[in-house]
Amino acid sequence: MAILLSGRDLARRIEAEAKERAAAFGDEPPGLAVVLAGDDPASRGYVRSKRKACARNGIESHLVEMPPDSTQQAVLAEIAALNSDTSVDAILCQLPLPSGISPSVVASAVDPSKDVDGFHPMNVGRLWRGEDCLLPCTPAGIMRLLSEYGIKPEGRHAVVLGRSTIVGKPMAAMLLAANATVTVAHSRTADLQSLCRSADILVSAVGVPGLIRGSWVREGAVVIDVGTTYVDGSPRGDVLFEEVEPVASHLSPVPGGVGPLTIAMLMSNTVRCRAGRGARGSA
Ligand code: NAP
């Protein structure tokens, strides 16, 4: 039976720490701006959760809502304004963006010191160079989760399923920095099952519910399920829980595993952005 890796308690502690650090800024608290372009209901829900988290942690949130027919130029103009707004320390553009707007162009327009999601090329480059930088929230939360449960990636074979800019690639970089031997798999990978069976640590960030069967997992492996796909209103992970739980040594459940950590790390990163900017007048 696997030990379940709960993200809830850890997320609470990360937020408590962020709240305490936010309070230290007194009447100049950290400010997070969220750009929400379009009318995707899931995005609205995520943005609501992020703003609620700001409210409970003493972080000011600024919402920039833009219509679904917004042009890339209009989004870039909003970002330019937020870059020069001294009350804004951190900027997040909720994905997905409306069609015709390039997420990578938008990410590149954010001031790297306000790049709370760690998607700007400068932060991506620093991550791969092993330098200190703002880290993407979901994989950073996973690294905290592993550490919380005493799981050391060093010398182990980590297989990351998924190669997105948001999860898969930065996850691979962070595991590599922690001295794991990393393989990144994706939709074109041949014989995924054998590859997964060779993993000591398997991180699945695909979005196909039940993809990872018990027979895909080596006895005693650590399995991190990032997948979150809503089926009939409930979140479903990539892992077929009832088959994998008896085989894995550790398993993060969906919900309650990785999910809560993403928002907690967003709070932590926002405070870090604020700390990097010093007194308001000097920004
Ligand atoms: P994404 O951009 O759609 O990337 C999915 C990746 O999975 C791609 O690299 C794709 O390969 C690969 N893939 C798709 N089908 C596959 C298959 N059958 N076998 C192997 N690989 C396959 O998604 P994402 O943004 O990284 O998110 C992945 C999942 O994590 C989603 O369920 C998302 O909701 C969840 N998520 C959760 C959190 C959280 O806080 N809990 C945060 C972010 C994301 P190709 O590159 O070849 O297309």
pTM of the model: 0.97
State the Cα–Cα distance between residues 241 and 252, nearest whole angstrom.
9
pLDDT average, residue stretch 207-211 = 98
- Per the residue annotation, which of 89, 94, 111, 238 is the catalytic one? 94
Residue 117 lies in a domain: no
Residue 17 resides in a domain: no
Do 107 and 154 lie in one domain? The reply is no
Domain membership of residue 120 (yes or no) is: no
What is the CATH classification number for the domain harbouring 62?
3.40.50.10860
- Coil, strand or helix at 169: helix
Q: Is residue 59 part of a domain?
A: yes
% of residues, the chain, pLDDT over 70: 99
Between strands 157-161 and 181-185, the pairing is parallel
Do 156 and 254 belong to one domain? yes
Quickly count helices (H) and strands (E) in the chain: 10, 11
pLDDT of 283 strictly over 70 = no
Please give the angle made by the CA atoms of 26, 28 and 34, to the nearest 5 degrees.
125
**What pLDDT score does 281 carry?**
62
Candidate of 206, 208, 216 to mutate for ligand 1, largest count of ligand atoms within 8 Å of Cβ:
206
From 95, 112, 129, the end of a domain falls on 112
Give the Å distance between the CA of 282 and the centre of ligand 1.
Answer: 40
What are the structure tokens assigned to 216, written together?
């895909």
> Which residues are within 8 A (CB) of 265 and not within 5 positions of it... i.e. 6 or more apart?
14, 135, 137, 138, 140, 141, 144
pLDDT digits (tens, 9 = 90+) for 150-199: 999 999 999 999 999 999 999 999 999 999 999 999 999 999 999 999 99
Please report the pLDDT score of residue 278 as a whole number.
Answer: 84
Answer whether residue 282 shows pLDDT above 60. no
Domain boundary among 77, 97, 112: 112
For 250-280, the pLDDT digits (tens) are 999 999 999 999 999 999 999 999 999 888 7
- Note the pLDDT of residue 277: 86
On whether residue 160 sits in a domain, the answer given is yes
Measured CA to CA, the distance from residue 177 to residue 56 in angstroms comes to 33
Pocket of ligand 1 (CB under 6 A): 138, 161-164, 166-168, 185-188, 192, 205-208, 211, 226-229, 258-259, 262
- Whether residues 108 and 173 fall in one domain: no
Give me 29's structure tokens.
């608290």
In a domain, 53, yes or no: yes
Strands 3-4 and 229-231: unpaired
pLDDT in tens, 78-95: 999 999 999 999 999 999
- Say whether both 85 and 152 belong to one domain: no
Q: Are residues 188 and 246 in the same domain?
A: yes
- 94 and 154 together in one domain: no
Residues 89, 111, 117, 238: which is the catalytic one?
117
Nearest atom in ligand 1 to 259's CA: 41
User: Are residues 149 and 108 located together in one domain of the fold?
Assistant: no
- Is residue 146 domain-shared with residue 233, that is, in the same domain? yes
Q: Answer yes or no: is 20 within a domain.
A: no
pLDDT in tens, 91-119: 999 999 999 999 999 999 999 999 999 99
With contact defined as beta carbons under 8 Å apart, do 111 and 86 qualify? no
Cα separation, 177 vs 173, in Å, equals: 6
Whether residue 155 sits in one domain with residue 97: no
Identify the residue whose C-alpha is closest to ligand 1 atom 6: 162
pLDDT surpassing 60 at residue 55:
yes
Q: What is the CATH number of the domain that holds 235?
A: 3.40.50.720
pLDDT at position 280 is 77
The question of whether 94 is a catalytic residue gets the answer yes
| Same structural domain, 69 and 174 | no
Please check whether residues 83 and 172 belong to one and the same domain.
no
State mean pLDDT over 35-40.
94
In a domain, 249, yes or no: yes
Report the number of distinct structural domains present in the chain: 2
Tell me how far apart the alpha carbons of residues 212 and 251 are, in angstroms, rounded to a whole number.
12
Q: Are residues 100 and 144 in the same domain?
A: no
Distance between Cα 162 and ligand 1 center (Å): 5
Domain region containing 168? 137-260
